[in-house]
Amino acid sequence: MKRIGILGGISYESTIRYYDLILQKYYEKNNDYRYPEIVIFSLNFQKVIDYELSGERDKYIDYLMSGIHSLENSGVNFIVMAANSPHAVYEELQKFSKIPILSIVKATVDKAQYENMKKLLLLGIKFTMKSTFYQKYCQNLGIEVVTPSEEEQNAIEKMIFDELVIGFFKKESKEKLLQIINNYKDVDGVILGCTELPLILKQQDTEIKLLDTIELHVEAILNYFFEL
């Protein structure tokens, strides 16, 4: 039996969504109950946040690798990180991992390229918006990535940590996000670069194309699973 490993807990809300969506989409594709075996290693969310804020890159990598090694030891065939922010150190993690780690960045940008998008707005926690891993990946493909203003970034970060990661979804928060998006009318699409954002923002909420990173990642997960 092929086995999927999820490095989760970053946050639990998005980890639950990954598990649910993988099995839901599997059934939609195969119409049977031979679901993939899934192993979840749930990290200490506060530790992850602290390492991201402190800039202690080596400790951050070591902690993420502790979860990855646990998944390796459980016999999974490949691993997915159920968050965008750890992809800031994706290359190092893949180098140290014994098995493939499927990138959420690749899955998202592949879709943007397919849709011929040339300019994207990146939303997420400040760690993600201030990092450059999306920009670097897009640069070689001729895609520009822009981020909101400092004030807007602060508002998005507060919303994510005070509400979304603990399952609070407020109408006024959705309206604020849509207002921020509407300030960037020259973009072709918006990267929902925090896996909690697709829990509150849906495509029907705006005419601007949303790149739902969870949805796109799960599609890539199942495509890879079926190819094994």
Instruction: Find the DSSP H helices in the chain.
Output: 12-30, 45-54, 57-73, 90-96, 104-114, 126-130, 133-139, 150-162, 171-182, 213-227
Distance CA 160, CA 154 (A): 10
How confident is the model at residue 33, as a pLDDT? 96
The topology under which CATH files domain 105-212 is: Rossmann fold (3.40.50)
Band (1; pLDDT cuts 50, 70, 90): confident
In the sheet that 144-146 helps form, which strands lie side by side, from edge to edge?
144-146, 119-123, 189-192, 209-212
**Eight-class DSSP state of 120:** E
Residue 110: which of 189, 16, 177, 208 has the closest Cα? 189
- The answer to whether domain 3-103+216-227 and domain 105-212 are alike in fold is yes
Options 1.10.540.10, 3.60.20.30, 3.40.50.150, 3.40.50.1860; which CATH number does 3-103+216-227 get?
A: 3.40.50.1860
How confident is the model at residue 31, as a pLDDT? 96
Whether residue 143 contacts residue 106, with contact meaning beta carbons closer than 8 Å, is answered with no
- What tens digit of pLDDT does each residue of 45-61 get? 999 999 999 999 999 99
Domains of the chain, by residue range, sit at: 3-103+216-227, 105-212
Other C-beta atoms lying within 10 Å of the C-beta of residue 56: 13
